[in-house]
Structure 1
């Protein structure tokens, strides 16, 4: 909450009216014209009366109850003043969004809706108010700008299919494994053995192969299992589409989606699809050394992942990892990074050499480079060449790379179908 000093000023309209009234009174007295003097009495009395009725209490404004997700945020701005009205100014991203005169009657709650494409911790809006006295004869000092920080959770986008690890785990799940069990497709027809259930007997095959019933045949199925996935977000970079902001001197514009915004949405979308299929998902961050979120399933796990993603952001100077984070055996790894340096690519290649299936998700936004000068264009071209070489080296290391900004659901579905064609891969 913030409040202004208990100082109210006359408006220019009242000052002009009082001045005109005094001038008319003086002219009427000097010229001996009573009718002219009478014309000055009304504005003079009105100005004095309105000034005597001016409020003396300070104006208070608060921002409360922010909520929402990426796309639209809603909060409530509460204005408290003894005046009949107030001028409310709402700013977002360093620019004025709206300025409105609202009737207060002492207290007024005004809903504030802000549309944003950014995720993570951010201010809903910066609000200040200026009280207006009766008749518009006085205005207060503007309040200090006030705001309320809100954690914007990333939204998700629907995905078709996702690649799975080469080895599935567990005794239940939504994916068909290679080992015998129940729930999957037909594996084979086999003579009845200890442990087989009688309801699995295939009487047609038994009648054809053993008419005298000296041997019974049962239908065996593939078991259903679950996949384990670990989402690894590279929070060391949070760059916007304008390369001039990459040096850190200027922040990206609030209306531009940054690479970390894309990484949050991409990771949340993958997590939602996998959790919906009954798989277990974990989360780790390459930018900080903290305990990762272990793999788990269910709606609560998805909520934990979205909340942790929203809190993910660059924290000081990133430290160099001597070894990649430990992963569960047989897990598939999704690495969300801009790949502007070698560390994320190096860690992904190490995981692939360790036997994990690794999918690199490129989250660099579409660049705006038309306004760059010759030196900036040359520097960006060097960065692009190094980045393309880095992605080519990942492909040589058998790390599958997709670009999130270009129809990721199609590219991920293609990787899922290609994985099913591999020898020994999970179906």
Structure 2
């Protein structure tokens, strides 16, 4: 059974919570329709006997006998219902499958029928009647564009006896919750920090070392390795071999990137939902969903390139994810992003979060207030290269009143001025709409310079 919602752009990945099971319901009672029909047939039978009308009595006797026979065959036992992870078919590992968030609804009880009503976030879903032969497992698929902790489905189950003559007590509602991890988008070239760190890595630095391109040709000095002697240059400059010349190279280094997510705002494309009275539609991705996807995409791209990536939250004061590399670091960042959410009124910061020296800071925010812009500007003044990623969705202004449309217009003008001030302070601005990979590639090419520029010798 499938719950109707807008499908995501790419298959999501989720972390399943514990299995939720409903208490068994073992009492079976006659259905209301059978009770009313039996009463009518009994009245008809008694009336036929009292009126000495056998034809009338037979009309009421036959259905009454069938009802009694069906009630005598009603099941005895409890009907249980529970949710469990989907570990079959396209999702053997429970880490994600095409088509949406998946789970399985388990049913166990006597040989009978069961009415299953599935809903999601108080939205109507499937209403089916299934056969339960002692045990039955039903697949449940929920399509979503949201990330983070959310409800997969809620099921209400009621047992139905043979011929619908009896019904069991409805089982308590069972709910399956899960944490949907953000998906990633393929990216092209990425901007690098002004300074590269370390003695190894995927990028060529300015320092002398090994692994990079040619730095220069220099007379041999104590400490130079003999395998680096360039015999052609030596033969040309010193035919008598009085002096040896060696080839020196640039050292390889790595980039340190800190992703900063502004979790204070979680707004959708409809401005009427920003006040909190109305919830965004489930098929609309909010700004925090876009921030999670953008941060996960950049983290995957940098980590696949061999760089180190960390994660911090501007809205909540908690221990950040320190910069690291490898597949486990990507999993750690995606889990932290999925759990990022607004937590009440954020406290005012006296200073921006601390980041490693020479790191590239990428901030994901809606920039609806001055706090995020102020923090980005202070990082830039401290010497870091800062990239501001605008994750505000495209607004829908249709259906707004005149005063609401005016408020949106004023907010848009103020935000544009704020973004222009960031650009004047040498903060590079990227909008996560359309083709962000192209915009990031433009930034990467715009900042091309000699390897390791800004790194002291």
Same fold (TM over 0.5): yes
Structure 2 counterpart of 1:114: 142
Q: Give the stretch that moved more between structures: 242-251 or 58-67.
A: 58-67
Aligned ranges 1:154-233 → 2 under 5 Å:
154-233=182-261
Distance 1:93 1:87 in 2: 20
In structure 2, distance between residues paired with 1:378 and 1:53: 69
Task: Supply the distance in 1 between the matched residues of 2:169 and 2:314 (Cα, whole angstroms).
Answer: 48
Which structure 2 residue ranges, 5 or more long, are not aligned?
1-20, 87-93
Query: Unaligned stretches of 5+ in structure 1?
Result: none
Q: Within 1, Cα distance between the matches of 2:351 and 2:36?
A: 75
Task: Please tell me whether the aligned partners of residues 69 and 154 of structure 1 are also in contact (alpha carbons under 8 angstroms).
Answer: no
Q: CA deviation at 1:188?
A: 1.5
Instruction: Tell me, yes or no, if structure 1 residue 406 matches structure 2 residue 426.
Output: no
Is 2:74 aligned against 1:54? yes
1:32-111 residue pairs with structure 2 within 5 A? 32-55=52-75, 57-65=77-85, 67-68=94-95, 72-82=100-110, 84-111=112-139
Match of 1:244 among 257, 266, 272: 272
Checking the alignment, whether the CA contact within 8 Å between 1:165 and 1:425 is kept in structure 2 is: no
TM-score when normalising by structure 1: 0.94
Q: Deviations over 1:126-170 (max 9, x none)?
A: 111111112211223433322122111111111111100011000
SS of the residue 2:297 aligns to: helix
**TM-score by structure 2 length?**
0.88
Asked whether the 8 Å contact 1:191–1:215 carries over to 2, the reply is yes
Deviation at 1:407, TM superposition (A): 0.8
Seen in structure 2, the aligned counterparts of structure 1 residues 326 and 261 have a Cα distance that, compared at 3 Å, is same
Pairwise CA distance, 1:35? 4.3
SS across alignment from 1:346: helix
Moved more, 203-212 or 304-313: 203-212
Retained in 2: the 8 A contact 1:8–1:54? yes
1:283 alignment partner, one of 290, 302, 311: 311
Deviates more, 1:342-351 or 1:417-426: 417-426
Distance 1:65 1:426 in 2: 52
**Higher mean displacement: 280-289 or 64-73:** 64-73
Q: 2:119, 2:155 within 8 Å by CA — same for their partners in 1? A: yes
Tell me what 1:255 maps to: 283
Structure 1 residue 7 displacement after superposition = 5.1
Secondary structure of residue in 1 paired with 2:447: helix
Query: Does the 8 Å contact 1:176/1:426 carry over to 2?
Result: no
1:27 CA displacement: 6.0
Aligned pair in 2 of structure 1 residues 250, 244: CA closer, same or farther (>3 Å)? same
Q: CA contact under 8 A between 2:24 and 2:81: conserved in structure 1?
A: no
- The root-mean-square deviation of aligned C-alpha atoms, in Å, is 2.2
- Distance change (3 Å), C-alpha of 1:69 and 1:120: farther
Q: Count the aligned residue pairs.
A: 427
CA 423–176 in structure 1, closer or farther in 2 if over 3 Å, else same: closer
Distance 1:422 1:185, change over 3 A: closer
Q: 1:10 to 1:369 in 2, by over 3 A?
A: farther
Gap change, CA 1:124 and 1:223, over 3 Å in 2: same
CA shift in 2, pair 1:93/1:129, >3 Å: same
**Residue aligning to 1:132:** 160
Determine if the alignment matches structure 1 residue 292 to structure 2 residue 312: no
Aligned partner (choices 28, 39, 45) of residue 25 of structure 1: 45
Change (3 A) 1:69 1:324: farther
Q: Is the 1:165–1:332 contact (alpha carbons within 8 Å) kept by the matching residues of 2?
A: yes
Deviation at 1:13, TM superposition (A): 4.7
